[in-house]
Structure 1
């Protein structure tokens, strides 16, 4: 993979120029964008996936859903439908995409979950509902410049900080690093629990936040309980199991399970992988399966895996969370 990226290095300046010029046209007002007179929050990144957007969206949902009518709007990557879809009882990962279906499965009674590749259209349709949402959270829309969110949350992982990276195809950035200036809040995600204040200070010097930007550090909190559709078990009481991951970066999860002293086999697939009948037949031969919550959304419809498939929930934990919460709540209440 590293060799391929090295060979593709000559393409990088072209990609950089195209994405830089696109942003310039929006910044100068030549390409038009839509702004809104109600709270629109955007959770996104500069990197190509794996920064922890899903647990961050869920954090915002939990923070706001008791006091406001909340909706999430995603592209719905990997779904088999087109256009605008509003989550309903008959939907699954094939109609919504795995991450939106995860939101719907957990919060569907309390919020609205929608997908639409055209974010302007999606927002318009959500606001056109009889019981319209008061707050819309855009999932992975930082590069969707046709919409300007009122509050932009930019995520970058501790292991792959955006200011140390370069654009595709040699690096992982979807656009030049200068795009970070559009963020209001920058979250360094997936930090190790033992991250010191000295290390935080060093990262802050690398980020060089603008006057309008606040920087927070977050980590992933893993549940001590795993769940199937019908039961729950303590993680440390799960017998020898097979871990199934179809996410951008499974290394933190694998590391956590190993530190817990668990014995398991790992079957790793690419992000948003669409499991085939042959994969399911392979999984049938395993006694116990443990998946990420996102992968569970794509696997739970297979009757062959009933009774043996579990998932491990995760949550985002934010340092100075009271300050972070107040920034978000003040933005919503003031708009």
Structure 2
């Protein structure tokens, strides 16, 4: 409630933020501020809002789609990492050194390169200077990083917080005006209910006001029927009462899924990318069974006191019209190579 009140108080600053970000975009659009393109396929995955649209599942989807045909690198900012500059994931990497989401990529996909750099231009150039340089670069959360001109822009917007219903910061959640959506080549409405109707899709499509060059897709999250740890697996049907721990932007879809399964749990909710403190770990160590997201798992699993009780629920992105989406991605990659 306090955060909402503060945001309302800050409403007079909304026009200022809007004008500043609109001007910045105009300067890039007209060429007064330069952006750099690259000879290899660069795919940017991002959003207009401040988070919770499902960028990580989308990046993982693209990795799975392309990794057997091309050498892939992901490039992220590495939010809340303790390192600076360009860092390439290696055997010494942790969630602290490269960030939780990049570390998740690193742990899951052995054949790809995972890099972080707040300066995306520098990060791309460092990757291209490698002896075994990647053939495709996936930019994670770089839609507003306009110094790089990606060859393909994928814009995500959550079903629960569609950008056309929102306004810019500090009162709203948008990082830039809604007009920024015109830069997207593909728009994906994420986290849709599985039962979404064609009529509802048509209504959303009309309100998104797509440009002629844009393709629209809808997706939902597919949840595993088991929770897993480093050395164990429990089916949801066999799961005893547990504690759900989340440090993500929007836990509502996950909570709804678990409730629909009739599971009994308490929910301890932390802010997105939360850095767990010793007193948090001490409190959690007293719980019998803990279920969390994979992103939170990579930050919590190095605590010995949680080792035998910590599990995460695997998820995957499921896209309606998967074949059309896959063909569009592969066509772009093939054309640019």
User: TM-score normalised to the size of structure 1?
Assistant: 0.99
1:247 matched to 2:248:
yes
Alignment of 1:84-99 (within 5 A): 84-99=86-101
The residue number in structure 2 matching 1:120 is 121
> Could you tell me how far apart the structure 2 residues matched to 1:12 and 1:67 are?
45
- Post-superposition Cα deviations, 1:91-150, rounded to whole Å, max 9, x if no partner, equal 11000100000000000x210000000000000011111111000000000000000100
Q: 2:17 aligns with which of 15, 36, 58?
A: 15
SS in 1 for 2:332: helix
> Could you tell me how far apart the structure 2 residues matched to 1:9 and 1:34 are?
35
- Post-superposition Cα deviations, 1:69-88, rounded to whole Å, max 9, x if no partner, equal 00000000011100111111
> Could you tell me how far apart the structure 1 residues matched to 2:158 and 2:167 are?
14
1:70 matched to 2:72:
yes
The residue number in structure 2 matching 1:304 is 305
SS in 2 for 1:58: helix
SS in 1 for 2:291: strand
The residue number in structure 2 matching 1:200 is 201
Instruction: Note the C-alpha offset of 1:2.
Output: 2.7
> Could you tell me how far apart the structure 2 residues matched to 1:223 and 1:115 are?
29
Q: 1:35 aligns with which of 34, 37, 51?
A: 37
The residue number in structure 2 matching 1:81 is 83
Instruction: Note the C-alpha offset of 1:227.
Output: 0.9
Alignment of 1:1-335 (within 5 A): 1-107=3-109, 109-335=110-336
RMSD between aligned residues: 0.6
User: TM-score normalised to the size of structure 2?
Assistant: 0.98
SS in 1 for 2:181: helix
- Post-superposition Cα deviations, 1:227-281, rounded to whole Å, max 9, x if no partner, equal 1111112122121110000000111100100000100111100000000000000
SS in 1 for 2:263: coil
Instruction: Note the C-alpha offset of 1:160.
Output: 0.9
List gaps (5 residues or longer) in structure 1: none
Number of aligned residues: 334
